[in-house]
Amino acid sequence: MTNYIDIDDEKYPESLRKIKNPPQKLYYKGDINLLNTKCFSVVGSRDLTDYGRHIEKLFVNRIARTRTTIVSRISYRSG
């Protein structure tokens, strides 16, 4: 189930409120409180190559071992 919070919600991450043009809504799955921990965002290509997928897996696995929350932006193509 996907949930969302808006910028006025007390659970909205303070670090995001401070950036220029913060998102007005955050959609999430899981524990929203993890966004108040040390986070790392993964952004990639929609047309990932086999090599890119391999490197991404290595990179993300190493970051996960540091107990850093990995944030992923999922976008869907319209049309």
Is this prediction's pTM over 0.85?
Answer: no
Each residue's pLDDT tens digit, 16-44? 899 999 999 988 888 888 888 888 887 76
Coarse DSSP helix, strand, coil percentages of the chain, rounded to the nearest 5 percent: 30, 20, 50
pLDDT at position 78: 39
Lowest mean pLDDT among 12-16, 22-26, 48-52, 73-77: 73-77
pLDDT of residue 74: 57
pLDDT at 59 over 60: yes
Give bridge partners of residue 42 from the DSSP assignment. 72
